[in-house]
């Protein structure tokens, strides 16, 4: 009986930790102890103890100035690893391969890690002229259509702090390097529902990206197609937006996120 009780208690502790993690990830701008305890219906002392343990484990990060908790680097790394693993067992590559065959250009999936866009899956087109990148590679999010999609759907205050946390580098003459200009661009992304890269990361390469949504309409990743201007125009990119959105929904279903 004692062994069974100990097992139940460990499960209870784990359940509380998972509940706290889920609540924090639902608030990308950060959430404080009082709001978190009220949301979970748990005593503040209990929630505080769990928060400290998760912070010490690197799963959560505390903003001491505002006394709010946000996702930590370790949890971000775990999330990225989980998505990469999910792509290997789910029919993601088959879905992407079908899209690449249809549009004739390279397509990729990516997520946001700070101000970096991280490639979690890519399928190359058959054209000899193409950009070769590996899964796990990073690029400045503000220079990419997928990165813009993800930045555009962050909580505004959090996005503002993030954009000002480091210099926006220029990869080409078309790169947006002023925060104010980027914020205007991100507002346009939100309104039209897709992001555009007009030779902002590589000279001669254009791209378009749409969001991948979960069942609560949260943006969890981006789906991008790109190619050289010698055979792909921005107008052609935009004409493919409806198809990209259909595929984005299929990927969300394959990940088990769609309702």
Q: What is the tens place of the pLDDT at every residue in 129-173?
A: 556 677 778 999 999 999 999 999 988 877 888 898 889 999 999
Does residue 5 have a pLDDT over 50?
no
What's the CATH fold of domain 2-71?
A: Arc Repressor Mutant, subunit A (1.10.10)
What's the confidence (pLDDT) of residue 10?
A: 46
pTM of the model: 0.74
Count the neighbouring beta carbons within 10 Å of the beta carbon of residue 64: 6
Q: Where are the domains of the chain?
A: 2-71, 75-254
How far, CA to CA in Å, does 168 sit from each of 66, 137, 141, 171, 175?
A: 25, 18, 9, 9, 9
What's the confidence (pLDDT) of residue 218?
A: 84
Summarised one tens digit per residue, pLDDT across range 42-81 is: 888 888 999 888 888 888 888 776 788 887 767 776 776 6
Does residue 190 have a pLDDT over 60?
yes
Rounded CA separation 72/57 (Å): 9
What's the confidence (pLDDT) of residue 136?
A: 75
What's the CATH fold of domain 75-254?
A: Beta-Lactamase (3.30.450)
């Amino acid at each position: 009986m004692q062994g069974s009780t100990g097992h139940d208690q460990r499960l209870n502790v784990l359940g509380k930790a998972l509940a706290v993690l889920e609540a924090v990830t639902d608030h990308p701008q950060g959430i404080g102890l009082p709001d978190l305890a009220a949301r979970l219906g748990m005593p503040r002392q209990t929630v505080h103890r769990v928060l400290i343990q998760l912070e010490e484990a690197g799963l959560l990060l505390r903003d001491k100035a505002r006394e709010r908790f946000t996702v930590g680097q370790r949890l971000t790394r775990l999330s990225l690893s989980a998505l990469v693993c999910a792509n290997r067992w789910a029919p993601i590559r088959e879905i992407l391969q079908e899209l690449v065959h249809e549009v004739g250009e390279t397509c990729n999936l990516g997520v946001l890690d700070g101000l970096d866009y991280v490639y979690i899956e890519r399928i190359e087109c058959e054209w000899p002229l193409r950009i070769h990148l590996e899964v796990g590679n990073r690029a400045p999010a503000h220079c990419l259509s997928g990165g813009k999609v993800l930045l555009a759907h962050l909580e505004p205050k959090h996005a503002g702090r993030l954009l000002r946390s480091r210099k926006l580098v220029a990869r080409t003459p078309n790169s947006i390097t002023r925060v104010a200009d980027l914020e205007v661009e991100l507002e346009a992304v939100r309104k039209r529902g897709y992001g555009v890269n007009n030779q902002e990361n590589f000279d001669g390469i254009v791209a378009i990206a749409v969001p991948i949504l979960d069942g609560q309409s949260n943006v969890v990743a981006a789906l991008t197609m790109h190619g050289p201007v010698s055979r792909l125009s921005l107008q052609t990119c935009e004409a493919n937006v409806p198809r990209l959105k259909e595929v984005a929904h299929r990927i969300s279903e394959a990940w088990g996120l769609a309702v």
